Chain A
């Protein structure tokens, strides 16, 4: 029998994988993908809580999270493109000064 814990453990592992990506990778775009993984892990936890406690509010919340994530990705990638135009790099190691 698959219980709530199983889903929560998958969610926790996915969250820590996303965090590992943010720490490990040096490319801004891949760091963004790690952020997406973490958002998805939170979504999975919310949906499983919603299923096991018989309230649909968790699913409404996930709907909002997906919307905000889409807007966030659009703005973030536009920022990366604007940064690339100025500095010709997407590596965080090369972006050490505040001045453009």
Chain B
């Protein structure tokens, strides 16, 4: 059952990920954003299979809920219509495929030849309680810094989106 779910979720993730970056039927950014939602949700399924339930929930809420809405908001705001008419240029396609094959091949070769997973069993229970304990004891300083980072990001975005940027 777990294996079947793994194959379903990873196939969904990879197919939707491919359709995000190189959809053969349309070049509309809204379609890409919608396939990104599907990628994120099937990745949340993989997180559930890895016993990371809290992260799966955060993934759906933050990515599918907030980040994609922000993307769609900007796409609608900018109203980029002329993008759809353009075709992929051949040089870009060849270069993209070359990059995909070389980087993907290199990473997979490295993973397979290093024998990184030999003799390892899935063992972490990964309850949300453990994660919270770790987050608020060992990692409390990075956690606070992350709060400051979000504040800085918010101020920066407000400043950047002012009409007369000086």
Chain A residues with CB under 8 Å of chain B are 1-10, 12-21, 23-27, 29-30, 32-34, 36-37, 40, 43-44, 47-48, 50-57, 59-60, 62-64, 66-75, 77-82, 84-85, 90-91
Contact = CB atoms under 8 A, between A and B. Distances in A.
A75 B160 contact: yes
Contact of B70 (A10, A18, A77): A77
12 contacts: A5-B116, A17-B100, A33-B20, A33-B33, A56-B130, A63-B135, A66-B63, A67-B62, A67-B149, A75-B157, A79-B160, A82-B165
Given A51-B124, A74-B153, A60 B10 contact: no
Contact of A36 (B51, B67, B86): B67
A51 to B, nearest CB: 4
Contact of B99 (A23, A47, A53, A90): A23
User: Which applies to chain B's interface (DSSP): helix, strand, loop or mixed?
Assistant: helix
A59 B37 CA distance: 21
B70 A74 contact: yes
Contacts of A19: 99-100, 103
Interface of B: 2-3, 6, 10, 13-14, 17-18, 20-22, 27, 29, 32-33, 36, 39-40, 43, 46-47, 49-52, 54-55, 58-59, 62-63, 66-67, 70-71, 74-75, 77-78, 80, 83, 86, 88, 92-93, 95-97, 99-101, 103-104, 107-108, 111-112, 116-117, 120-124, 126, 130-131, 134-135, 139, 142, 146, 149-150, 152-154, 156-157, 160-161, 163, 165
Given A5-B116, A19-B100, A20-B21, 19 more contacts: A4-B117, A9-B111, A12-B108, A15-B107, A25-B22, A30-B29, A33-B33, A40-B63, A50-B124, A54-B124, A55-B124, A57-B134, A59-B126, A60-B131, A67-B62, A73-B70, A78-B156, A82-B165, A85-B163
A71 B153 contact: yes
Contact of B10 (A4, A10, A54): A10
